[in-house]
Amino acid sequence: MRLSPSFFYKFIIIFFIGIIVILGANKLKAQDNVAQTQIQPNTSNNSSHFNNNLLNQKVDSVLALMRINEKIGQLVQYSGKWNMTGPSSSNSDQYKLEKLKKGEVGSMLNITSVTSIRETQRIVIEHSRLKIPLIFAYDVIHGYKTIFPIPLGESASWDLKIIEQSAAIAAKESAASGLNWTFAPMIDVSRDARWGRVMEGVGEDTFLNSEIGVARIKGFQGNNLSDNSTIAACAKHFAGYGFGEAGRDYNTVNIGENELHNVILPPFKAAANAGVATFMNAFNDIDGIPATGDKVLQRDLLKGEWNFNGFIVSDWGSIAEMEVHGYAKDEKHAAEIALNAGSDMDMQSFAYETYLEILLNEKKVSIAQIDDAVKRVLRIKFELGLFDDPYKYCNEERERTEVYSEENLAIARDVAKKSIVLLKNENKILPLSKSIGSIAVIGPLADDKNSPLGNWRAKGEYNSAVSLLEGVKASVEKNTKVYYEKGIDLTIPTVKPGENQFSQPLKFNTTDRSDIKKAVEAAKKTEVVLLAIGEDAYQSGEGRSQTDIGFKGLQIELLEAIKAVNPNIVIVLMNGRPMDLSRPTEMVPSILECWHLGSQSGYAIADVIFGDYNPSGKLPVSFPHNVGQEPLYYNQKNTGRPYNARSVTFSAYRDSPKTALYPFGFGLSYTTFKYSDITSSQTKIKVNGNLTVSVKVTNTGDCAGEEVVQLYIRDLVGSLIRPVRELKGFQKVMLKAGESKNVMFTIDSEILQFYTANKKWEVEPGKFNVWIGGSSEAELKTSFNVEE
């Protein structure tokens, strides 16, 4: 019988591993040939000490075989957007192809489809000396082809189970298409509505970012990275990216240790504790040090104190950008800074492949640091099972059957309807009856099948979303008359339909009013107007910061014209950021915050409009009265002169309220909820003690509904000034009409501790206030004391 080369390679490497186990050797002599290593995958993200030791031995066995060019290659990531199944189209492509054949590339991004990924992997496996498999990455942010609500919108569900489920489906579709790594979740705390990338995160609160970030990591990674329905997650951006000055993307960040440790870092610590496979560093600097070159953050804190054993990837070109920052004198110096600081993989800077060996010879970086970075990359590849089978994610049948399935679309609809927030509903205009005589569906976004997909839509197909108009028509009875008019165009096309608009600036329509009259005529003859306005999908996202967070173009003019003939208006708001809703709030009886809800947007909105689902969403961000309030967030410090309406010399605005128009945690329902009987199990606890706080929640309306019960605390006196209140717990409860439930929270040292003036996490004795309610403006309060 003739043995296959792969069998021979596996036999050789298993033999080497046996020597290591028996003799306790740390290294093997370099060999000329090695192939895929047969491994036993970890059974969970929290694998046993034995499995970790075995995995480390296998990583070391491969490392011992590697030459310096191959080690450096594992730290290189290329973007490959060309067709790998055909001839390369440029000198750059040919260069990358030759590097792949030499085994001098560790990862590829932006290659999608089983066919292309299989061919790219084949090039490495069949041509390179050591045949170390590639890891394939893609920006799978809120779905792969089945598109879910943008992360900010999905966060409004406050439903950790469905958030984990949507990430799991995104992982399943990605893995079925050959991918095994995503650059998500983004867990940057962001408090500024001007920042375009606010759409990609969880919003302004540290605790909510932590909880939802962990849920998404669990969804992507499951219990076992070697399961080919899971993919490696990436916690980003480490750190401070959401605090760019003036809400401007990529901008400098100026914060102190207090804000860094108490606000920005906790979600990343939670991600590390949850076993996230990778981190991505950030474009910004903090206090003059670019995150990519920040040794304290990356090497000392993340890899040291937090004991993170995955790897850190740079953001796109961020290593080379340290030269532009003025922190590195050239790209060679930038590569030196980045590696010494702990940045493991270079995404598209070409700095590591060009300079690391030179820097090693000059003793400006050490082989120990290179080896550490390489081992981290190899470890994730082992955990993904790629050494066991480099093609394990390449299954054409799975790609045909598991991507964009009816089952996935049904779940996308469920997630979307739970992400909708009812902001206003005077006179109970909603829900509408399905047998209503007539409805006008009006607005530039009313029949838009593209904007609901949002930005960062991965492989979501252009114009594939269910529009609001389609959802309404599918829901009403056959005798209901549905009138549709666009009224205005929101934007003027700058690219052809279907072309990539990601890097193109939008141009807004400010002159063409020709169809407003038709919209007015439709509004005149209907009982209710559903007015779909807000933002185009590409108004938010990376590089999409704005100084104006109001309604672009002629949208307010359209609203005013409709209001003049029919006051029964429901604004169906589609957007990627908190908007200035002050004028619409004055004008209309009802506003539904619908975000960009993804593939099943129109059906989900109709589910809420017609009462098939009672809205339960709560805002993960504060909505301002105007852009001048930004950055705006609920958990502010009190200052020495808090707001006083009767005096000028206090912290406030003279021309605008200080508080939010719609606060963090706010959201209405078709029913009402009453909070009462707040009680605490103790009035005094020790610094390491705990207590329970409970509250009675009653559904005082006439239909069943879900309420997000929220717990806030305030540490009244601290060695550092503490916020006026902080979210520290939430539970989503379903209540029938007239039903009451006691909801209980445990408060312990983990909840009460903070990063103190002693530069450590601890609980300080003193008095604490506790509020429980339906938003950050909850009034029902109790208190307790913490003693030494």
* Pairing status of strand 691-699 against strand 107-109: unpaired
* Pairing status of strand 278-281 against strand 311-313: parallel
Q: Amino acid identity, residue 172? A: K
Handedness of CA 345, 349, 351, 353 (dihedral sign): positive
Residue 427's Cβ-count burial label (10 Å; 0-12, 13-18, 19+) is exposed
Q: Is-contact 498 462, C-beta < 8 A?
A: yes
Tokens standing for residue 519: 């919209």
Maximum pairwise Cα distance, the chain = 95
Which residue in 190, 179, 282, 181 sits closest to 234, CA to CA? 181
How far apart (Å, rounded) are the C-alpha atoms in residues 785 and 716? 10
Tokens standing for residue 626: 């105007």
- β-strand partners of 686: 787
Residue 138's Cβ-count burial label (10 Å; 0-12, 13-18, 19+) is buried
The count of residues in the chain is 788
Give the residue carrying structure tokens 């296959």. 4
Work out the number of other CB atoms within 10 angstroms of the CB of residue 377.
26
The number of helices, as runs of H, and strands, as runs of E, in the chain is: 23, 28
Angle, helix 49-63 to helix 367-383, in steps of 10 degrees: 120
Work out the number of other CB atoms within 10 angstroms of the CB of residue 496.
7
Angle, helix 406-418 to helix 160-176, in steps of 10 degrees: 150
Supply the DSSP symbol for 274: T
Work out the number of other CB atoms within 10 angstroms of the CB of residue 583.
14
End-to-end CA distance of the chain: 76
Considering the candidates 159, 285, 315, 414, report the single residue annotated as catalytic. Answer: 315
Handedness of CA 490, 494, 498, 499 (dihedral sign): negative
Helix (H) or strand (E) holding 307: none
The alpha carbon of residue 201 and the mean position of all alpha carbons in its chain are separated, in whole angstroms, by 4
Tokens standing for residue 540: 């938010």
Give the residue carrying structure tokens 């429980």. 772
Tokens standing for residue 645: 């309406």
Residue 229's Cβ-count burial label (10 Å; 0-12, 13-18, 19+) is middle
- β-strand partners of 592: 422, 572
Strand order in the sheet with 107-109: 181-182, 135-138, 107-109, 76-79, 346-347
Work out the number of other CB atoms within 10 angstroms of the CB of residue 261.
20
Which residue in 21, 205, 241 sits closest to 727, CA to CA? 205
Per-residue DSSP letters for 514-567?
A: TTHHHHHHHHHT-SEEEEEEE--GGGSSTT---S--S--TTHHHHHHHHHTT--
Residue 524's Cβ-count burial label (10 Å; 0-12, 13-18, 19+) is middle
* Pairing status of strand 691-699 against strand 726-735: unpaired
Q: Is the peptide bond before 657 cis (omega within 30 degrees of 0)?
A: no
How far apart (Å, rounded) are the C-alpha atoms in residues 569 and 562? 8
Cβ-proximal residues to 4 (8 Å cutoff; 6+ apart), any chain: none
Which residue in 374, 370, 318 sits closest to 346, CA to CA? 318
Residue 315 annotated as catalytic: yes
- Residues with active-site annotation: 315
